[in-house]
Structure 1
Amino acid sequence: MDRVKAAIVFNRICEQGSLSAAARVLDMSRPMVSRYLEQMEHWAGTRLLHRSTRKLSLTAAGERVLEQSRELVEVAEQIADQQEAETPAGRLRVACARFTAEHMVMPWLSPFLARYPAMAVDLHVSNQAVNLVEERIDLAIRITNDLDPNVIARRLGACESVLCASPDYLARHGRPTAPEQLALHNCLHYSHFSRGLWHFRQADGERLALDVAGNFSANESSLLTNAARAGMGIALLPELEVRQSLIAGELVPVLEQLEPEPLGVFGLYRSRRHQPLALSLFLESLKAALPAG
């Protein structure tokens, strides 16, 4: 059996605390995980784990072997990175929301993959946060101004927004001329991170936070765009999402003296030290395609 693979499996068993959990993370059957563990113990010539009905724990030899197996995997990854440097290859598992996939990733993905034919991208579209390790995700793309300081992340650009409404809604309810007048309007907001609080920069540079309310919220920007086009209210929406609706006149800007505060676009990944070339190239390409903000 592949000794490097056996070391990887042993490391995962130790990290996850059980053979079953390691099998799920590795997308491998439990009997196969058990076989790799037996291979490691045969290779080491001694028992590496104490097994009980509740949990696994390392023997003294197991602690020494764990340190060595981590070093072995690290060296193997370095060699693989050197081989990959000439021809970037491998499958990247990327997680992001639908808006991000449609408006930020897909527009440049086809020429990117044509340039690197040995690479593949597996795109997981969801508005839910993912566990990079447990779900075997190489990169998660998030749009936020409230990033967890404990995650490993790189800022890739900015997501600009537009405050807008349909001409029909403004004809029926009037056009607001001052920020405080938004309190008199039905404001459609994104339920996931804005929670009814909209952030702006005023002409003098001062920042302004407005607490808004309305009879419709959603965690999907396309639904809010459809609601705004249908004349349901005023919405703060990503410029990339509403660009065509603005050009067509289906939506028009509101309170143009206010500049909606841009949201940061971040790439989250598992390690700074051993970043595969394929992931590095993907990040650089996405950064080049996004507004700097």
Structure 2
Amino acid sequence: MTIIEFRDVYYRYNEEENWVLKKISFKITAGESVAIIGHNGSGKSTIIKLINGLLFPQAGDIFIDGEKINERNIWGIRQKVGMVFQNPENQFVGTTVKDDVAFGLENRGIPREVMMERIDQSLQAVGMQDFLLHEAQHLSGGQKQRVAIAAVMAIQPSILLLDEATSMLDPLGRNEIIETIQHLKQIHNFTLLTITHDLDEVTLADRVIVLREGKLTNDTTPRELFSQVNNWGSLGLAPPFTTKLASALKKLGYRFPAHPLNHKELLEALWTYNLKK
């Protein structure tokens, strides 16, 4: 079932500027994991804001769960969509971790006994149950992002939007958040849209949408994209180490049955290649 659909969507922030998005059309199936990539200014964050109803297109239509977004139904649409920002502090409203996770539930009028159960479950899911009464501003960057994710998951969205949610973290914190999101997706099977400059995150998606100057230029699988793109700089991205190494090995005569996406696949491909020789 299609849960997100863009039909010939155009958007610009004011009439004096060029279009940020130009005739964007795509469909996303419920439960799919989709990464959106492209250089700065390509329109990635604008797409996320349009899905969440923070913006409305000047032309074209957007459907969430079969319902066309408009000003009359936007609050109902937002009940289905959760969003985690680049900077988790932009989402903090309460004094403690408990207050922050409870905020969205209180706004939705969730009964107290249900609310307390969801707070406990969501913090358990991200490994922050021992920080219930801690002040959010005193947590580490990775811990803050875990709390932001817990607050979103507590409202049980069917769509989760990540707007460069790991970009402010160190490599360890980034990996922890990625693993947390993947764990939650296995449990709840929500639809996941990720905006990222980290191609290691892209390898975990079912599909990848590439934007360039407001236009959709690729809609494919990560493996197909990684095997096709030669100039990552044109997308404002740096290729992962695995991709660079695999490309260098191909020039030396190695042949892979499929483009390796991670270290494990690369090692298995090299092992198989050497056995055949």
TM normalised by structure 1 equals 0.22
**Larger radius of gyration, structure 1 or 2?**
1
